[in-house]
């Protein structure tokens, strides 16, 4: 049985095959049957637009059915232990797609359940998004070994998944994060031990210089709203604007997982400019998640 809790659940060979498969699925406007007769439960403890719609549409396009569970409509977060939920849902469904807070939630569902689990986002990782971003980059620069990717901002779940991606794909990664908001050193060290080419700095200009892709994310993610003012102070100088983009390669593209706070982590000019490929990224969630689900469910 296959699970996708992070990008490291793919071997380098698997990651490359999934990337190529997603590219073909997009070109072919793929409709398939790998989920025929299967029911996939979406457990969403965090609100969503792109993740929910792309997974639900993708499940249908692969022949399956989906069912959404939120804390308001189920025993999630109430008195029933999560391990019991895992065992009950394993009797009803064929797979789980989970968008939640703690990575431990996924680990419990895997430990006590008997069906595949796919991470649709946790506070630690966002693998489906970053695999989709790999597709967005591959479409423009298929020689990933020549690509320099800059991450500007919080060392969050997106940064962690880009670090993991650097251990599976041959691009080089530089992260600019302020003190106190750097990525988990264990995640960084593990990726480096597997050959990832990663630099870490607190200087956004250093990270942007010579980059082919510049990535960022909101400074305060869901669940961190109370830290907004504190984070605004810590991330002063981390705005991705035209001046920062000018330090990158002439054809550098801007990436953002959305939703974006224009004027905070990215300027309106950059977000709406010719370098922005954010809506291609959003579309690619559908194609990549179909490729991931095919990898999980194909016998």
Residues 45 and 97 both lie in one domain:
yes
Residues 244 and 166 both lie in one domain:
yes
Q: Once rounded to an integer, what is the mean pLDDT over residues 147-152?
A: 98
Which position among 129, 148, 168, 231 bears the catalytic label? 129
Residue 240 structural domain: 141-276
Contact in structure between 147 and 210 (CB atoms under 8 Å): no
Please indicate, yes or no, if residue 135 is contained in any of the structural domains.
Answer: no
**Does the annotation place 23 within a ligand binding site?**
no
Residues 20-54 pLDDT 10s: 999 999 999 999 999 999 999 999 999 899 999 99
Residues 121 and 213 both lie in one domain:
no
Please indicate, yes or no, if residue 43 is contained in any of the structural domains.
Answer: yes
Active site residue 285: yes
**Residue 56 clears pLDDT 90, i.e. is over it:** yes
**Residue 76 clears pLDDT 90, i.e. is over it:** no
Residues 251 and 173 both lie in one domain:
yes
Residue 223 is predicted with a pLDDT of 65
Residues 223 and 119 both lie in one domain:
no
**Residue 77 clears pLDDT 70, i.e. is over it:** no
Active site residue 206: no
Q: Give 165's pLDDT tier (boundaries 50, 70, 90).
A: very high
Residue 244 is predicted with a pLDDT of 98
Please indicate, yes or no, if residue 19 is contained in any of the structural domains.
Answer: yes
Cα dihedral 148, 272, 54, 24 sign: negative
Which position among 3, 21, 52, 126 bears the catalytic label? 126
Residue 72 is predicted with a pLDDT of 80
Which position among 21, 148, 168, 285 bears the catalytic label? 285
Residues 63 and 177 both lie in one domain:
no
Edge-to-edge order in the sheet of strand 95-99 = 65-69, 39-44, 95-99, 117-121
Ramachandran angles phi, psi of 36, nearest 5°:
-55, 125
Please indicate, yes or no, if residue 131 is contained in any of the structural domains.
Answer: no
Residues 61 and 12 both lie in one domain:
yes
Q: How many domains does the chain have?
A: 2
**Residue 79 clears pLDDT 90, i.e. is over it:** no
Residues 12 and 113 both lie in one domain:
yes
Active site residue 129: yes
**Does the annotation place 175 within a ligand binding site?**
no
Residues 85 and 199 both lie in one domain:
no
Alpha carbon 214 to chain centroid, angstroms: 15
In this predicted model, which residue has the larger pLDDT, 70 or 113?
A: 113
**Does the annotation place 21 within a ligand binding site?**
no
Active site residue 126: yes
**Does the annotation place 222 within a ligand binding site?**
yes
Residues 264-281 pLDDT 10s: 999 999 999 999 999 999
**Does the annotation place 49 within a ligand binding site?**
yes
Please indicate, yes or no, if residue 114 is contained in any of the structural domains.
Answer: yes
Residues 240 and 150 both lie in one domain:
yes
Q: Collect all residues with Cβ–Cβ distance below 8 Å to 87 and sequence separation of at least 6.
A: 112, 113, 114
Residue 224 is predicted with a pLDDT of 66
Please indicate, yes or no, if residue 133 is contained in any of the structural domains.
Answer: no
Whole-model pTM: value is 0.96
**Residue 159 clears pLDDT 90, i.e. is over it:** yes
Residues 168-189 pLDDT 10s: 999 999 999 999 999 999 999 9
Please indicate, yes or no, if residue 232 is contained in any of the structural domains.
Answer: yes
**Residue 217 clears pLDDT 70, i.e. is over it:** yes
pLDDT-above-90 percentage for the chain: 91
Q: What is the CATH number of the domain that holds 229?
A: 3.40.50.1370
Which position among 9, 231, 257, 287 bears the catalytic label? 257
Q: Give 124's pLDDT tier (boundaries 50, 70, 90).
A: very high
**Does the annotation place 126 within a ligand binding site?**
yes
CA dihedral 57, 58, 64, 65 (to 10 degrees): -40
Residues 14-24 pLDDT 10s: 999 999 999 99
Residues 161 and 270 both lie in one domain:
yes
Residues 54 and 97 both lie in one domain:
yes
Which residues are bridge partners to 256 per DSSP?
A: 216
**Residue 167 clears pLDDT 80, i.e. is over it:** yes
**Residue 152 clears pLDDT 80, i.e. is over it:** yes
**Does the annotation place 122 within a ligand binding site?**
no
Which residues are bridge partners to 41 per DSSP?
A: 67, 96
**Does the annotation place 281 within a ligand binding site?**
no
Please indicate, yes or no, if residue 83 is contained in any of the structural domains.
Answer: yes
For residue 162, the tally of other CB atoms under 10 A from its CB is 27
């Amino acid at each position: 049985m296959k699970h996708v809790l992070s990008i490291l659940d793919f071997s380098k060979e698997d990651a490359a095959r999934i990337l190529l498969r997603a590219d073909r699925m997009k070109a072919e406007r793929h409709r398939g049957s790998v989920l025929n007769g299967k029911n996939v439960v979406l457990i969403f403890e965090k609100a969503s637009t792109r993740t929910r719609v792309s997974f639900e549409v993708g499940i249908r396009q692969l022949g399956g059915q989906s069912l959404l569970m939120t804390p308001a409509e189920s025993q999630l977060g109430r008195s029933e232990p999560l391990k019991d939920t895992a065992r009950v849902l394993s009797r009803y469904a064929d797979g789980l797609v989970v968008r939640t807070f703690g990575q431990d939630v996924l680990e419990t569902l895997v430990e006590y359940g008997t069906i595949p689990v796919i991470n649709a986002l946790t506070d630690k990782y966002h693998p489906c998004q970053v695999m989709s971003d790999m597709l967005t980059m591959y479409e423009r620069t298929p020689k990933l070994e020549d690509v320099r990717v800059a991450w500007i901002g919080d060392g969050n779940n997106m940064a962690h998944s880009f670090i993991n991606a650097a251990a599976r794909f041959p691009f080089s990664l530089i992260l600019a994060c302020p003190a106190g908001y750097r990525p988990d050193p264990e995640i960084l060290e593990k990726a480096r031990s597997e050959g990832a080419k990663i630099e870490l700095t607190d200087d956004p200009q250093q990270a942007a210089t010579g980059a082919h892709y510049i990535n960022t994310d909101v400074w305060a993610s869901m669940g961190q709203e109370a830290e907004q003012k504190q984070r605004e102070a810590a991330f002063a100088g981390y705005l991705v604007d035209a001046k920062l983009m000018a330090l990158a390669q002439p054809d550098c593209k801007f990436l953002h997982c959305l939703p974006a706070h224009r004027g905070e982590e990215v300027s309106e000019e950059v977000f709406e400019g010719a370098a922005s490929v954010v809506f291609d990224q959003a579309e690619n969630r559908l194609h990549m998640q179909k490729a991931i689900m095919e990898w999980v469910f194909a016998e």
